[in-house]
Structure 1
Amino acid sequence: MTEEELLAARFEEQRPRLRAVAMQVLGSSSDADDAVQEAWLRLSRTGATAVNDLAAWLTTVVARVSLNILRSRGTRREQPLPEEGVPRRGFAEPSGAAPEDQAVLADSVGLALLVVLDTLGPAERLAFVLHDLFGVPFEDIAPIVERSPAATRKLASRARRRVRGATVAGEKEAARRDEIVTAFLAAARGGDFDALLRLLAPDAVLRTDPAAARAGASAATGARDVARGFTGRVKAARLALVDGLAGLIWVSEGRLRVVFTFAVAEGKITAIDVVADDDRLARLDVRPLER
């Protein structure tokens, strides 16, 4: 194996963790890939012989590149939405996890957290992600954000308080959503039209993808029409987590056939999407709930 091939192999060992760092800092798959690619370019120019601790060196490079991207976004007033592949729920406390476990630790961070992180300044966001999610010492983060270790600790502390507050609110919202979808399924199975109306917003909509429409599902607008479409039906549907949120699924002959996803606002269902397209179903993270 040539020296270049050996260097590339060592980099590939670090790639999953580097991408996890960039994803949590940036919340954008394309930006994360750009940051990781830039780290590789810098490493290939520098060479492994000039680097004492490869993992720490690469993490620092990815962090610096990510920080520059965040600052550039602020200048352009652009905030990308969280993308596919970003986990949907949860918050991980600092755990001192071993390096090989830290990418897994980061995967417990949810969509709600990414939304909160978008409200933080770039330095706050970077300090929180690097320390709380990946165990990087404040002494190593300080030069990246151009602050003292004590000031860097304060940055992470402020971010942590905001994240914890948002997490509590998010958990309450998720619990309420679970209750609403569970009640909706019970009312639909039992043919309780009035109960369905109470759960639906007046302007609720039912949307279907082309595959669902071909199978006989009909779109509807307004609570009464949506409720009529479900009254006494979906008896075979089951509760499930769909991309981390409460939803319904229909499984036939061991195969996932249909997924129902719900949009909920102010305690009411505002939209239901019926997904039956095989390609779309394959991209969903579906976890049946036994109740």
Structure 2
Amino acid sequence: METAAVDRFEASRGRLAALAYRLLGSAADAEDAVQDAFLRWQAADRERVEVPEAWLTKVVTNLCLDRLRSAQARHERSAGAWLPEPLLEGDPMLGPADTVEQRESVSLAVLLLMERLSPVERAVYVLREAFSYGHGEIARILDISESASQQHAHRARVRVAAERRRGQADPVSARRVVEEFLAAATSGRTDRLVALLTDDVTAVSDGAGLARRLLRLRTRERVATFVRAGFKPTEAKRRLAGGSPSLHIATVNGTPAVVAVVDGRVAGAVTFDVSEGRVAALCGVAKADRLARLDAAWQRQEHPAPVIAAW
């Protein structure tokens, strides 16, 4: 393939990867979809492609839809053990973050909520909210009518908003809430934990890979009890983690997070959605296969001293 055609694809690679990640919730799957799109670009009659960016967007979107509709994907996601793959701040796969909608569309909380949408609703929502495509463009990408695109977008927004009646917190305030939350969790102050949670708080965890299904909790008291137990140091947990973790506060998928690090490697991450000075949602990931990309990014960066040096 001529250099100009390769360069044209590479100029779109970052945007395509960010689109695929939002649709699939997995960096590895997103990379596979983009590579498949490259192979199709290589085999295409490129002289007949009037707008390469639109052609590539259509190909990647539909490759992702095929993955979401596949029997294997439906089984994995319906089995109740699937979580999105967390990404560290600065990862190019996070894509555009200029607007509130773009930042929200990549948070773990919203990626989880999008699991409740049909594949087409999810595609319309991502293309519209995160990439600002018009309904006419979306209709051409998905081979649907413009009115159908509008209807899918409306249903998707309503379903996501129903679970996210949140006020936005600025990054500095959100980090301060998470610092206070971590101090309460590690000191055993369950009453303070309860006070730092919203009335409709939710928590989701993969249980460090020890549970067959995701752990899902509601109510402030249940979430606070679970968090306190999770952050309470024990010898068994140190053995499971491979040592005594240091706890850092970082930004993961656009929200503040506590990252547990053992011997320089990420052993777990908990992301926080903060609303009006309290924690509205938590998502904990500790399975090694979901942390591989975050861990690799962590090791490439310099980090401030941990909030807790030895857990």
TM-score, scaled relative to structure 1? 0.61
What's the counterpart of residue 96 of structure 2? 103
Q: For 1:194-213, what aligned pairs fall within 5 Å after superposition?
A: 195=189, 199=193, 201=225, 203-204=229-230, 205-206=232-233, 207-208=237-238, 209-212=241-244
**Equivalent of residue 153 in structure 1, options 150, 154, 167:** 150
Displacement of 1:35 = 1.5
Is 1:44 aligned to residue 42 of structure 2? yes
What's the counterpart of residue 120 of structure 1? 117
Q: Which runs of 5+ in 1 are unaligned?
A: 88-101, 218-236, 251-255
- 1:91-117 per-residue CA deviation (whole Å, 9 max, x = no partner) reads xxxxxxxxxxx7345455211110011
What's the counterpart of residue 67 of structure 1? 65
What's the counterpart of residue 91 of structure 1? none
Take 2:42 and 2:75, find their aligned partners in 1: how far apart are those partners?
33
What's the counterpart of residue 249 of structure 2? 240
Displacement of 1:263 = 8.8
Displacement of 1:185 = 2.5
Flag the 1:73–1:139 CA change in 2: closer, same or farther, 3 A: farther
* Structure 2 letter corresponding to 1:53: V
- 1:235-265 per-residue CA deviation (whole Å, 9 max, x = no partner) reads xx9x834533354999xxxxx999996699x
**Equivalent of residue 299 in structure 2, options 260, 263, 282:** 282
* Secondary structure, aligned partner of 1:168: coil
What's the counterpart of residue 185 of structure 1? 183
Flag the 1:121–1:259 CA change in 2: closer, same or farther, 3 A: closer
What's the counterpart of residue 225 of structure 1? none
Take 2:38 and 2:297, find their aligned partners in 1: how far apart are those partners?
33
Give the conservation status (yes or no) of the 8 Å contact 2:68–2:74. no
- 1:205-242 per-residue CA deviation (whole Å, 9 max, x = no partner) reads 423343427xxx9xxxxxxxxxxxxxxxxxxx9x8345
What's the counterpart of residue 82 of structure 1? 84
Is 1:134 aligned to residue 134 of structure 2? no
* Structure 1 letter corresponding to 2:6: A
Take 1:247 and 1:282, find their aligned partners in 2: how far apart are those partners?
16
> What is the CA RMSD across the aligned residues, in angstroms?
4.6
Give the conservation status (yes or no) of the 8 Å contact 2:184–2:192. no
Number of residue-to-residue matches in the alignment: 234
* Secondary structure, aligned partner of 2:244: helix
Take 1:70 and 1:55, find their aligned partners in 2: how far apart are those partners?
22
What's the counterpart of residue 209 of structure 2? none
Q: For 1:21-40, what aligned pairs fall within 5 Å after superposition?
A: 21-40=19-38
Flag the 1:143–1:110 CA change in 2: closer, same or farther, 3 A: same
Higher relative contact order (CA 8 A, sep 6+): 2
Give the conservation status (yes or no) of the 8 Å contact 1:246–1:262. yes
Q: Which has the larger radius of gyration?
A: 1
Take 2:185 and 2:179, find their aligned partners in 1: how far apart are those partners?
10
Take 1:123 and 1:156, find their aligned partners in 2: how far apart are those partners?
9
Q: Which runs of 5+ in 2 are unaligned?
A: 90-94, 194-223, 273-278, 287-294
